Structure 1
Amino acid sequence: MGELFRSEEMTLAQLFLQSEAAYCCVSELGEIGMVQFRDLNPDVNVFQRKFVNELSDPLPPPADLLYISPQATFEKLENELKEINTNQEALKKNFLELTELKHILRLYLCAMEDPSLLEESAAQYDPNDVIRGAPLRLGFVAGVIGRERIPTFERMLWRVCRGNVFLRQAEIEDPLEDPTTSDQVHKSVFIIFFQGDQLKNRVKKICEGFRATLYPCPETPQERKEMLAGVNARIEDLQMVLNQTEDHRQRVLQAAAKTVRVWFIKVRKMKAIYHTLNLCNIDVTQKCLIAEVWCPISDMDSIQFALRRGTEKSGSTVPSILNRMQTKQTPPTYNKTNKFTSGFQNIVDAYGIGSYREINPAPYTIITFPFLFAVMFGDLGHGVLMTCAALYLVLRESRLMMFSMVFAGRYIILLMGIFSIYTGIIYNDCFSKSLNVFGSGWSVRPMFDSRVGGNWTSETLDGNRVLQLDPAIDGVFKGPYPIGIDPIWNIATNKLTFLNSFKMKMSVVLGVIHMLFGVTLSLFNHLYFQKPLNIYLGFIPEIVFMASLFGYLVILVFYKWVAYDAQTSRDAPSLLIAFINMFLFNYNDPSNRALYSGQMVIQSLLVVIALACVPCMLIVKTLVLRRQYLWRKHLVRYSRPGVTFNFADVAVHQAIHTIEYCLGCISNTASYLRLWALSLAHAQLSEVLWSMVMHIGLSSRSFILLSIVFFFFSVLTVAILLIMEGLSAFLHALRLHCFSSFVIVWKML
């Protein structure tokens, strides 16, 4: 019981770890998660601690075989990928060169097949410069250049060579991949014809200046054709090799991706271990590490076993030592959890963590949180869908660990779905429709029977669009529905008025009960810490104040439900007006009669009692604390040097607490009306979605149209009503717990 309803009893212990076993021992302690290390080097800079180098490059001790560093695996993978990338880059470079050479050879063959080429090139030269009777022999240079440089390249050739060269160029249609940057570049191939070595040198220098790539080209046509065929064959082979290389690299990367999460976890664990080791002291012999830890007293044996396992794994022959220490420091708060309670404990911790050994509200939150959520989300159909989704997460929990946020709250979602099914049955609401399982308790037939007071006829039905049943007529109302709201209210025109009244009163009742439960839990804190003053001048005035006002309001709600029936309901007074008049001491309002005899005396007495509780909390407790301080001051054996009593600080603190509590009772009670508001909003959204979407498909006779409408109805139901409305109800339930319940349980003790 103590493990669930109160934080664990902690003790301060001292650890003596051998240097060679320290890593494994801390690792085992981290796996069980039951110790908190204290920093024994608070004055030492972070960069001057012993294991700083290991944090920058974590390497475990050689004897540790369980936590082998993934660095060796990283190096092997890195070398393999480097080799693959180097080979692939070389292959891509060779592929690029062959592709460019292929386009050059094609351009040259096309140029040589052009009969006007010799005439055009010969026309650029002076006939007097050609030796008579000698054939015209032209040299050429072929290469590849960036497409954007062609105009500038052509002008430079013309000016430098004074028009004594002939340039033939063609664009490469498909972009080529740069093997270094993997960018797509557009290039053009060119052939430059010239005569003489002087022009040849000029042309080559211009090509070098424009970073053009030159390729050798055979002289004879037969050699060029053979070279082109060989280049095409090599390109096909290279393409096959490149595809195989890319497939191999993808396989290597996919294999690494499967284990990268495990590597990250290992690296984080190693860094956490070395960070923890930096919190320890090292003795003068440099062979032993000294640490101080907070640990639960009930888990001392588990910690001893963990230290023993760490020593055995490290291969050390000297066992680690765990000694309990005596201290007056306040231990940290530790609440033991399991996979079921951890999600609810996180909800409590989202508001704050209680003081040491205070009551832990998490066990009660297991019931109250999903219940308040279900009050706002109550729908049988939506609850079934949520329960099925949560059951899938629970049953497949071993395979769905990667969805950390949703997976961690799987049991919360499961209970929210189960409670939503329950409240959906109470509301008799399933996708905005009611289920008539037991038959309605209302009957129309007695309204046509004049013997029991009925006055309806067939003309009455024809002349009126809306008729009202009279429950005062015998047989019209046979009795309440066995469970939940009667299904006839789903077709009633005053359905919203009835449900608003019911859910609003239900919200106030649940809110007051929840807050009274929180105040009651604070009593157990006062009893455990043996502070009777907080009981007599704190708990009792608080619960009397709340019960005198809002507890009385809850009693009035139930009294009105029981005291008035169908015959007398017309004379029932308004609870809101009666509650306001209670504070105003106004009992002469003719429009609002008394609920019961003696109401004025009882209500006046309750208001006086509630008002009397305020100075009791505000003034009396402060004066009693001051008197106790003065009494202890005169008793030497009870006096503690350095402890002073500041009356002003205590008075201000008590005044803030009293005002906060009194105003909080009012504001938090009103805050619980969100249960009514969100329940109404959820029901109306569900009804609108059914009438505007699903009703269209059901009214048609086409199966295809019905399937399409059902698909959209399912998507909108999941997206709007389950996810958006579910998240909204979750946040409001969290708010009601944090600021309306937990704030009452936890006090500054």
Structure 2
Amino acid sequence: MKKKTKSYAHIDWSLKLKTKQKANTREIDLDVLSRDGKLTELTGRESMGDVRGGCCPPMDLFRSEPMQLVQLIIPMESAHFTVSYLGDLGLLQFKDLNSEKSPFQRTYAAQIKKCGEMARKLRFFKEQMLKAGFSPSTKSVAQNDIDVDDLEVKLGELEVELIEMNANGEKLQRSYNELVEYKLVLQKAGEFFASAQHSATAQQREMESRQMGGESIETPLLQDQEASTDLSKQVKLGFITGLVPREKSMAFERILFRATRGNVFLKQVPVEEPITDPVSGEKMEKNVFWVFYSGERAKNKILKICEAFGANRYPFAEDLGKQALMIIEVSGRISELKTTLDAGLLHRDNLLQTIGDQFEQWNLKVKKEKSIYHTLNMLSLDVTKKCLVAEGWSPVFATKQIQEALQRAAFDSNSQVGAIFQVLHTRESPPTYFRTNKFTSAFQEIVDAYGVAKYQEANPGVYTIVTFPFLFAVMFGDWGHGICLLLATLFFIVREKKLSSQKLGDITEMTFGGRYVILMMSLFSIYTGLVYNEFFSVPFELFGYSAYACRDLSCRDASTVGLIKVGDTYPFGVDPAWHGTRSELPFLNSLKMKMSILLGVAQMNLGIILNYFNATFFGISLNIWFQFIPQMIFLNSLFGYLSLLIIVKWCTGSQADLYHIMIYMFLSPTDELGENQLFPGQKTVQSCSLRVVSCVL
């Protein structure tokens, strides 16, 4: 039988409404943004309204809601309000009637593009708020409904203002960082030049004193020739000052030496604290340098090397008086820029705070508008171009609510003509929709993660409310830890109204969403903890005294050696005497393994029984005779029989080896059981089970 596929889409932008509508193969969530899904059509079966068959009761809580295909004829002037109210209702899944058209060929492509542009601006605002250390406010702001056109203009003005403020702030910050570097260069280089000038003056005075004192043994032989040298032939050295990153300083020095063949003098002084680089805006450690050179050719090489290494160059005057004036001037400009930067940052923070107060409201409005126009693009335009035709799936119980939403949309839009609602008859397979509440929704999501039930099939989510937390408790099993888990869950449940309106972190939000699952887990964990008699792994005699005691005083250090039964069996759970003994681990492992077998077989039987109810409900007798009956026979002839042996062994206290019984049931079915016989006629039961399984296979 061939399966046809058709594409559908849906909307729901309300954060409090998260209705689950599922297809035959997967769940289709009604999320904030619209998405396309696929529904599988099963031909040859009536799927409209109630699908009743056989003698089974309706089982409304255990099956998906009856669905119907409806058609809406909506006037153009009320189309926006209609889709908006239906989206808030969250009980209608629209079909895409324009699937053959591309997104750019649809009627409301321009409006979707406009919403996308507004969403981009909101993302830009959010990035700027996060950089500034702000987070969008989660408190609800009581305001009237915002007009989309006014919101578009306002967002555009805010974006232009914020971009201009960012550009001005970056320019001012760069100038400030350059002045800070310039001041460091003036200070470090000024100290060097002052020291060098002081040394030169001292040498000149020493030379003059020697000339006045006459010749001596220490007087240079060529002193007269040096003094007679023409001053016009002396070489004047130029210099360049600036800062270079400290990590590049060694390579910078080597390249300068090689490029000029050693005809430069380089001096570097490290800056004590990291400074902000004007170009990259990052904090880094730098060195102040000054290079002395001779000739324009050497100067050009040095300038190119400085650019390659990212060294920032700054002018410097040799005159000490000019240096002092420049330091005073630079310090004043730094103070002025600091004041201007602080005022600009304060104004920018105030603007971002204003945006943050209304960000969530704007963001929700833009997402809602985009979803509305996306849905309107799925509607078919009438030939008169005066109305839109929509088709979609809705639960049967939602008919009255949909009609009320249509009437309200027509009234609010001042439309002269109301929307027309009618039910269509089809053989398409509807989507699966389960009505859930805050308690059952998390369990339903767990089931849907493994697979979604087909339309009108029995819903395993109802049984999962008990089986899932109980199986967790079988593993967790400690009533001390269970109480801690219960207290943590009660905190979320007591404050759920407040927490549901707040924006939580990823882990906290996931925990809050599954608070009722954790509640059931904690309750069952307390129960199984009492069965295991473990409170933070410590046993307690809660239900009476232990049935075992020491034969004499020497048995206290020998664990189970010397223990004898002196009283009645412990009334509930594991006897506390087992804890801390040599056989505790083998005993508890055996107990939990056998318990897991019993629970697993019970759960598999439950699944097969649900399959029987589905077959009866849909009137498919083949599934009963060739699926349900063989599965029940095969499962219970082997694993059901094993479960029976476990229960009998517990009741009788037999020492029979269940592994030996199950293995030799297949290898040697005719052998005598001997000490492994648990009840009369066991050999006959095993032989009959093997024959039945052979017939089924």
TM-score by length of 2: 0.69
Higher strand share: 2
| 2:574 corresponds to 1:477 | no
Query: Contact 2:548 / 2:564 at 8 angstroms: preserved in 1?
Result: no
1:321 aligns with 2:420: yes
Secondary structure in structure 2 of the residue aligned to 1:444: strand
Give a deviation string over 1:616-643, Cα, whole Å, max 9, x none: xxxxxxxxxxxxxxxxxxxxxxxxxxxx
Is 1:554 the counterpart of 2:643 in the alignment? yes
Q: 1:153 to 1:74 in 2, by over 3 A?
A: farther
User: How much does 1:432 deviate?
Assistant: 1.6
| Deviation (angstroms), 1:24 | 3.6
In the alignment, the residues of structure 1 paired with residue 382 and residue 403 of structure 2 have an alpha-carbon distance, to the nearest angstrom, of: 22
Indicate yes or no: 2:561 matched with 1:467.
yes
Give the Å deviation of 1:530: 2.3
Residue 431 (structure 1) shift: 1.8
2:383 alignment partner in structure 1: 284
**8 Å Cα contact 2:193-2:318 kept in structure 1:** no
Q: Does 1:238 align with 2:343?
A: no
In 1, Cα distance between equivalents of 2:298 and 2:564: 110
1:430 maps to 2:529:
no
2:392 match: secondary structure: strand
Would you say the 8 A contact 1:3–1:336 is kept in 2? no
Which residue, 61, 81, 87 being the options, matches 1:30?
87
Pick aligned residue for 1:387 from 486, 497, 507: 486
Distance 2:86 2:228 in 1: 95
Identity %: 36
Matches within 5 A, 1:543-582: 543-562=632-651, 564=652, 569=654, 572-582=655-665
Distance 1:74 1:120 in 2: 71
Separation of aligned partners in 1, 2:556 and 2:616? 70
Give the SS at the match of 1:21: helix
Query: Displacement, 1:242?
Result: 2.8
| Mapped partners of 2:115, 2:438: distance in 1 | 31
Matches within 5 A, 1:183-582: 183=282, 186=286, 188=288, 225-226=324-325, 228-246=327-345, 248-249=347-348, 252-253=351-352, 265-311=364-410, 314=413, 316-397=415-496, 398=499, 399=502, 401-403=504-506, 404-444=509-549, 467-471=561-565, 476-478=566-568, 480-562=569-651, 564=652, 569=654, 572-582=655-665
1:506-546 C-alpha deviation (Å, 9 max, x unpaired): 22222222222222222221222123443345434433443
Distance in 2 (alpha carbons) for counterparts of 1:58 and 1:608: 70
Equivalent-residue separation in structure 1 for 2:682 and 2:260 (angstroms): 113
Measured in 1, the distance between the counterparts of 2:556 and 2:487 equals 47
Aligned equivalents of 2:291 and 2:549: distance in 1? 102
Aligned partners of 1:390 and 1:414 also within 8 Å: yes
8 Å Cα contact 2:560/2:583 also seen in 1: no
Distance 1:252 1:425, change over 3 A: farther
Equivalent position SS for 1:4 = coil
Q: Distance in 2 between matches of 1:206 and 1:590?
A: 101
Tell me the residue number matched to 1:744: none
**Amino acid paired to 2:173:** K
Match of 1:591 among 627, 649, 674: 674
Q: In structure 2, which of residues 129, 142, 162 is the aligned counterpart of residue 81 of structure 1?
A: 162
- CA offsets per residue over residues 235-257 of structure 1, 9 Å max, x none? 23323433444455456556656
Deviations 1:589-622 (A, max 9, x none): 253354333334444444444444x2xxxxxxxx
Work out which structure has the larger RCO, using CA pairs closer than 8 Å and 6 or more positions apart in sequence.
Answer: 2
Gaps of 5+ in 2: 1-57, 119-143, 205-224
Counterparts of 1:82-231 in structure 2, within 5 Å, are: 82-99=163-180, 102-103=183-184, 106=187, 107=189, 111=193, 114-115=197-198, 128=230, 144=242, 173=271, 177-183=276-282, 186=286, 188=288, 225-226=324-325, 228-231=327-330
SS in 2 for 1:5: coil
- Give the Cα separation in 1 of the matches to 2:528 and 2:430: 42
String of CA shifts for 1:209-236, please: whole Å, max 9, x gaps.
Answer: 77786659698x7676455334323323
- Name the CA shift for 1:352/1:223 in 2 (closer, same or farther; >3 Å): closer
Secondary structure of 2:672's match? Answer: coil
Question: Is residue 114 of structure 2 the alignment partner of residue 57 of structure 1?
Answer: yes
Do the aligned residues in 1 keep the contact of 2:544 with 2:571 (CA within 8 Å)?
Answer: no
- Alignment partner for residue 78 of structure 2, among 21, 27, 38? 21
The 1:305–1:231 alpha-carbon spacing in structure 2 relative to 1, beyond 3 Å, is: same
CA contact (8 A) 2:68 2:396 kept: yes
Q: Which amino acid aligns with 1:467?
A: V
Q: Secondary structure at the match of 1:592?
A: helix
Paired amino acid for 1:38:
K
Q: How much is the aligned-residue C-alpha RMSD, in angstroms?
A: 4.5
Deviation of the 1:271 alpha carbon: 3.6
* Greater shift in the superposed pair: 382-391 or 579-588: 579-588
TM-score w.r.t. length of structure 1: 0.65
Q: Deviations over 1:661-718 (max 9, x none)?
A: xxxxxxxxxxxxxxxxxxxxxxxxxxxxxxxxxxxxxxxxxxxxxxxxxxxxxxxxxx
- Cα offset, 1:357, TM superposition: 0.6
**Which residue is 1:40 aligned to?**
97
Who is 2:221 aligned against?
none
Q: Give the CA deviation at 1:352.
A: 1.2
The Cα of 1:167 is off from its aligned counterpart by: 9.1
Q: Give per-residue Cα distances to partners, 1:355-389, cap 9 Å, x unaligned.
A: 11111110111011111111122111222222223
* Structure showing the higher helix proportion among its residues: 1
User: Which whole-Å CA distance do the structure 2 matches of 1:464 and 1:99 have between them?
Assistant: 79
